[in-house]
Structure 1
Amino acid sequence: MASGVGSLPGTDVQGAARAVRELYGDGGVPYLVELPARGPGADLIGRTAAQLTGLAVDLQPAGWRLTDGSGRDASRARAFLREDLDVLAEVYDGYAGSLKVQSCGPWTLVATLALPRGERVVSDPGAVRDVIQSLADTVAEHVAQVRRLVPGARVTVQWDEPGLPAVLAGRLPTVSGFGSLRAVDGNFARDGLTRVTETVAGQADSQVMHCCAADVPVPLVRQVDGLELALDTSLVRTAQWDGIAELVESGRRLWAGLVPTGSTARHPRDHVDPFVEQWHRVGLEPALLEQVVVTPACGLAGLSPADASRIGRLTVDAAHAIRDVVEQ
C-alpha cells in the first residue's frame, strides 16, 4: 500500500487532486492535497491555526499568533481550505476507499503559534490546554465534513509533528533568543496527543502521527492507543527499531517514508531492499510487511511537479515490491 505525506509543489489544486487520486486511488491511500506555494495560509501552521474553533489568529513578521480578531491572512487560509474541499468533493465523487487528511499536530502547533505578547504558546500550560482542545474539536468537525463530502471514504487523520522532538528535548529558543524553553514532560505530551486522538476517534477510521525529524519519540507514540507512526526511515537510529517492531507487532501500521525525495533510482528495490533487511534484522515476520504503508520522505513541495510525480510513481512501485516480498 502506498500514500503521500501531503504537501505538493505548485498552485493547481484541481490538477494535484486528480493526480493524487489517479496515483493512489486504486488500493492506496490518496489524500487531501496541500499546496504551500500558494502563500501564507497554505502553510502547515497557518492552514491549521486559521481553522481553530473559538480562537482567532493573525500573521505577524515573526509568524502566526493568537489575537483578539482574525486577520486577512487567516481569512485567506480558510478560503484555501474551502477551495480544497470543493475540489475534493468533485474529484472524489463516488469514491469508496481510504482517504487521508492532514493537520498540524498539537505539539508542533503550540511550539510554533505565539501568544498575543509574543512568546510561544507552549510556554503557558493553560494556553496549551485551550489550543489543544480547540484543535481536537476543529479536526473532528473537519473529518465529519470530509465524510459528508465523500460518504464512501474511510478517513485517516495524519497529525504532523515535526516539532515534537524539540519540544520534548527543551530545544525551543525563547523569543529573545537568549535562552530555551523548558522541556515538556513526556506524560503531559502524551496527554495532549491522547486528547486530540480520543476526540477525533469518533469520526476517523484511523490516525497516524507523522514526524520527519530525527529522534522520533517512538515510545510516546506507543503509549497513545491505536496511534500509528509515519517517519523518514533514513533518520531512524538502530536503537529505535526495537520500539518500531513492538508498535508493528501490536497491530498498528507503519507509514515508512523510505523513498527519498532526491532519489534517482531506476528501480524501487534500491530503497526497498535495505528496509526489508532491517525489518528482518529486528526479527519482524515478513507477513507483517502487510502493515507497511510506503510513502516518500518529506520534501515533495520543494521539487518540480515533474519530479514530485516521478517520486510518487516510484513510491507506488516500492509498495508493489514490498507486497512481492510478503507473497514469496
Structure 2
Amino acid sequence: MTQPTWPWPAGAATGVGSMPGTDVAEAQRIVLGELPDLPHLPELPARGPGADLIGRTAGLLVDLPVELHAARWRIAGRPGRDLRRAHDLMERDLDQLTEQADGLAGPVKISAAGPFTLAAALDRPIGGRMLRDPGAVRDLTGSLAEGLREHVATVRRRLPGATVLLQLDEPSLPTVLAGRVPTESGLGAYRPVEQNVAVDALRSVLTAVGAPVVLHCCAPDVPVGLFRAAGAAAVGLDLDLLGRDLDPLGEALDAGLGLLAGAAPATAPPAGRAPSSAQVADRVRQLWHRLGFPPARLATQVVVTPTCGLAGATPEYARAVLTACRDAGRRLAEA
C-alpha cells in the first residue's frame, strides 16, 4: 500500500485558532514565530462581534447577509453595519497575514465554523435556529461552501507560495447528531440530524473548497468515522476528551487520516505554568502506543496542538503553550 502523505512537514505543531487580546499584528507575530512549520490565521474574539467564530464565519456567507439581534447573529434581509464590521475585521487579519507571512512557502492554516455548528448558532429571521429547518440548513451549507471557496482562493492569491489548509470547527456537531441542541424556550430540543445527511453536507463543503480540510471538534463524542466518510484530510480533537473506545480513531488513522492532537491545556492549570515539551510529547506518544501504530509514522501523521483555542488564556501562557507544542513536535520527529 502506498504510504499516505499529509499536508504538513514531519514534527509540525499548530494552534487551534483563537488567541487572547485584541492586537492582531502581535498575535500573528507570535503564531509565525512559535509555529513556523504550520502557522495559522489567528482569531481574536476579544475584539467583539464579528471577530468571534460564528460572526467571523457568517461574514463569509454568500447571498446570506447576517446581523446582530439581541446579542445573537441572525440571517438579515440586507447587508448592514454588523456585516461590514465582520468584513473589515477579516480584511485586517488577512492584511497582517499577507504582510508578515510574505514569501511563506509551506502550509498555512485558516479556520471557520462548519455548517452544523453554524446552523445551531445562527437564528432565522422569523425566529428559531437555522437548525430547525432542513431546507435552511441546505441553503446555509451551500452558501458556506461558496464563501469558503472564495476565502481559500483569496488567501492563495495573497500568499502564492503557500499551501492553504482549511480547518472546519464543528464543536456543536455531537449535540446536533444526538438531538441535544435546546430550543429557544429551553423546554425542548431540535430533532437530531441523521448521520448520512451530515456526511453529505460536510462532503459538499469539503469538495467545494478545493483544499485539504481538517474537521475539528474539541468536544466529547467526536464523530471520527463521520469525518472520515466526509473526506477530511485530518481530524482535530482534544485528547483529554477521548473515551475508552479508541477503535473508530484507530481505524480512521490506519486508513490514512491525519490527526491534530490536542495535547496541551488551552488554559493554565492550577500550578499556572504551561506543560513542558517533554510532557506534551509524552501525551501524544501514549495515545499512539495505545493505538498500536509504528512509532515511525507518528511525527508525519500527527500535528501537536493545544486542546482548544487560547482565547481564554493569558498572553504569556498562550505563547508558552505554543512553544511547548512546537518543541514537542520536534521531539517526536527526532525520536
What is the TM-score of this pair, normalised by structure 2?
0.92
132 and 83 in structure 1: CA distance in 2 versus 1, 3 angstrom threshold: same
Residues 257 and 295 in structure 1, CA contact (< 8 A), matched pair in contact too = yes
Instruction: Show the counterpart of 2:221.
Output: 215
Instruction: Please say if 1:141 is aligned against 2:119.
Output: no
CA deviation string 1:123-144 (max 9, x = no partner)? 1111111100000000000000
Structure 1 residue 265, shift from structure 2 partner: 5.0
Show structure 1 runs of 5+ residues with no match: none
Distance (whole Å) between structure 1 residues aligned to residue 287 and residue 49 of structure 2: 40
CA deviation string 1:14-59 (max 9, x = no partner)? 111122111112xx21011111110001000000112211111111
The range that moved more, 50-59 or 35-44, is: 50-59
Q: How many residues align structurally?
A: 319
Instruction: Show the counterpart of 2:4.
Output: none
Relative contact order, higher structure (CA 8 A, sep 6+): 2
2:248 paired residue among 224, 243, 246: 243
Structure 1 residue 307, shift from structure 2 partner: 1.1
The range that moved more, 248-257 or 132-141, is: 248-257
CA deviation string 1:165-215 (max 9, x = no partner)? 1100000111122111110001001111001001012xx2x1100100111
Instruction: Show the counterpart of 1:65.
Output: 74
Instruction: Please say if 1:21 is aligned against 2:27.
Output: no
Distance (whole Å) between structure 1 residues aligned to residue 84 and residue 176 of structure 2: 29
CA deviation string 1:239-274 (max 9, x = no partner)? 0x2211222222221000101122535532223224
Output the aligned Cα RMSD: 1.3
112 and 324 in structure 1: CA distance in 2 versus 1, 3 angstrom threshold: same
2:125 paired residue among 116, 124, 128: 116
Corresponding residue SS for 2:162: strand
Q: Calculate percent identity across the aligned residue pairs.
A: 48
Distance (whole Å) between structure 1 residues aligned to residue 265 and residue 201 of structure 2: 31
Consecutive aligned runs of 4 or more in structure 1 exceeding 6 Å deviation: none
Distance (whole Å) between structure 2 residues aligned to residue 266 and residue 301 of structure 1: 18
Instruction: Show the counterpart of 1:169.
Output: 178
1:253 paired residue among 258, 261, 271: 258
Instruction: Please say if 1:4 is aligned against 2:15.
Output: yes
Corresponding residue SS for 2:175: helix
Corresponding residue SS for 2:230: coil
Distance (whole Å) between structure 1 residues aligned to residue 202 and residue 75 of structure 2: 21
Residues 228 and 257 in structure 2, CA contact (< 8 A), matched pair in contact too = no
Residues 24 and 316 in structure 1, CA contact (< 8 A), matched pair in contact too = yes
What is the TM-score of this pair, normalised by structure 1?
0.94
